[in-house]
Amino acid sequence: GGRGGGGGGTQLPPGARLVAQDVGTATCARSLVHMLWRPSAKHGGFNRDVCFVATDTGGGCRGMAPKRTEHCVRVSVARCRYALQVDEQLQDVAERFGMDWMRLWSLNLALHHPDFIVHAGQQIAVGHLYRSVSRHEMPAAVAKRMGMSEDLLRDLNNDLDHTAPLRLGQELCVVPDSCRGDARSALSSAGFAANVAAAASDQNPVVPRGT
């Protein structure tokens, strides 16, 4: 076919760009198009399809008719993970994610010294994975329980709708703060009260269950 072209069938991820490279011969002009994208610190949990449409003018290679093709790929960014850049230290990463370096270091037991980074590109954890066990949990309540700000919760979870209850089994990246978080959850408090009432009436203890 003739010279190929590439385009986004859906919107590209924020900051992504398409780069074309000619790879044709004297008789057949061809282009190879790459999508280049480096996710930012706020793209953890990004997960959606990106579609590309390629068309040509036809006629340039053995008189072939113009063609059009579409291809979609799923683009996902790991939640709670970060790839270190060249010469980047934990202090730099902690500031990027709005936390202190001691909390970040405590999330990475394999790092035996906070100032020693093995290599660029090394992946580190920037939070804990939290899985909802209720259809009634609100993101704000999770943030409060963990002792973290709602802004940080949104920054760590690109796909989060902070106005809607969490889905059963929905995963979030959270950064607990033992000094600011709630000591007990509503479920544990309810279970404690239920067990006290059961003991007083000689009934079997009640164990709270997720809804």
CA–CA distance, 195 with 211 (Å, rounded to integer): 19
Q: How many domains does the chain have?
A: 3
Please name the amino acid found at residue 70.
Answer: E
CB-based burial, 74-83: b 16+ in 10 Å, e otherwise: ebebebbebe
Q: Are residues 202 and 133 in the same domain?
A: yes
Q: Are residues 206 and 143 in the same domain?
A: yes
What angle is formed at CA 164 by the lines to CA 160 and CA 166, rounded to 5 degrees?
70
Residues 22-69: pLDDT tens digits?
776 666 767 788 889 988 888 999 998 988 888 877 666 666 777 888
Q: Are residues 113 and 142 in the same domain?
A: no
Distance of CA 191 to the CA centre of its chain: 33
Most confident of 87-91, 140-144, 182-186, 204-208: 140-144
Residues 56-110: pLDDT tens digits?
776 666 667 778 888 898 999 999 999 888 888 889 999 988 888 999 999 998 8
CATH of the domain at 85: 3.10.350.10
Q: Are residues 65 and 89 in the same domain?
A: no
Name the residue with tokens 């000591």. 183
Backbone angles phi, psi at 78, to 5 degrees: -60, 140
Q: Are residues 13 and 55 in the same domain?
A: yes
Q: Are residues 151 and 95 in the same domain?
A: no
In a 3-state reduction of DSSP, which class is residue 106? Answer: helix
Mean pLDDT score of the chain:
79
Most confident of 24-33, 161-170, 177-186, 195-204: 161-170
Strand runs (DSSP E) across the chain, as ranges?
A: 5-8, 17-22, 31-36, 47-55, 68-76, 81-83, 123-125, 128-131, 171-174
Q: Is the pLDDT of residue 197 over 70?
A: no
Q: Name the domain boundary from 126, 154, 188.
A: 126
Q: Are residues 93 and 72 in the same domain?
A: no
pLDDT at position 2: 33
Lowest mean pLDDT among 3-7, 94-98, 138-142: 3-7
Are 63 and 2 contacting, i.e. CB atoms less than 8 angstroms apart?
no
Distances (CA, A) of 112 to 94, 105, 115, 118, 142: 17, 9, 9, 10, 30
pLDDT at position 190: 52
Of 182, 171, 169, 173, the residue nearest 210 (C-alpha): 169
Structural domain range at position 85: 79-126
